[in-house]
Structure 1
């Protein structure tokens, strides 16, 4: 079952924007992050939830989408996320959140997939602008923005071609292709001398 969730957990960038995600659903996803492991159990992450058109539009304007798709400026109106979870590090708890943002984001996204939703971790953020818009106190730094919604695109995993490129791409039918390294290419040895 976990393998199925992982296979369905792709970086979706186009959504059915009119499919509302309730605040209770977002709180449930954050609760999964809350219950996840935390380095030294410090639990420095805090969250801001957004599911209204006005707030979502304001957040959307601070984000960069799909760096490998140079000709694409991000999802158009009607295909944008219907919700966001903004992940913050509370500097009064920890100056270095270590692996916590990645662990928490993966928990949130796996929970989203289980509910028939999809999302994308976004690190390409105009953090200064978003922090100003949110009127955040100095002790909070933006770690990630997680875009969420009901996926409107198909994402397919493929093999890395002979040219070795890891760049994702879209075909003429707007199917998003993501090349992955072969298992044998990432395991150095199963009998490494110690």
Structure 2
């Protein structure tokens, strides 16, 4: 069951804009992060919920989407995320989140997929614009933005070709998003 959940926990970049993700659902996802391991058990990460359409409209243009798809500017209006979680480091507590960010992002995306919600973890964004647009205090440092919504795209995992060793994801003309993965034999050191 865990393997299947991890396999469907892909970066989703096109969403059903007619189906929203509400604040209660987002709160339940954030609640999962409380149970994650935390370096020094400090728990310095906080989340800014964005689920109102006016705020979503402020966040979207501040994001960069899918670096390998250089001819794509991101989801069209009807396929944009309906919610975001802005993961922030509370610098009043520490300047180093250790590995907490990744642990919590995985918990959030797995929790979302279990509910049929897809997500895309975004590191490339306009930090100043996010802080200003969402009214974040100076001591909150945005680390990642998790875009969320109900998927309208199909993502297929495939074994990476050992011939060309290409890791770049791509889309076929039918809109299917393909993600090459290294074989197990490349992950184990002999």
TM range (shorter): over 0.9
Task: Name stretches of at least 5 consecutive residues in structure 1 with no aligned partner.
Answer: 190-194
- Quote how far apart the aligned CAs of 1:159 are: 1.5
TM-score normalised by the chain length of structure 2: 0.97
Q: Over aligned residue pairs, what C-alpha RMSD do you find?
A: 0.7
Preserved contact between residue 5 and residue 114 of structure 2 (Cα < 8 Å):
yes
- Quote how far apart the aligned CAs of 1:135 are: 2.1
Cα deviation 1:100-141 (Å, max 9, x = unaligned): 111101000000000011101000111011111122212110
Partner of 1:95: 95
2:122 pairs with 1:118: no
Cα distance in 1 for partners of 2:122, 2:48 equals: 15
2:56 pairs with 1:66: no
* Count of matched residue pairs: 189
- Quote how far apart the aligned CAs of 1:185 are: 0.9
TM-score normalised by the chain length of structure 1: 0.96
Partner of 2:168: 167
Cα distance in 2 for partners of 1:159, 1:2 equals: 20
Partner of 1:184: 185
- Quote how far apart the aligned CAs of 1:37 are: 0.9
TM superposition outliers: structure 1 runs of 4+ over 4 Å: none
Partner of 2:76: 76
Task: Name stretches of at least 5 consecutive residues in structure 2 with no aligned partner.
Answer: none
Cα distance in 2 for partners of 1:49, 1:130 equals: 12
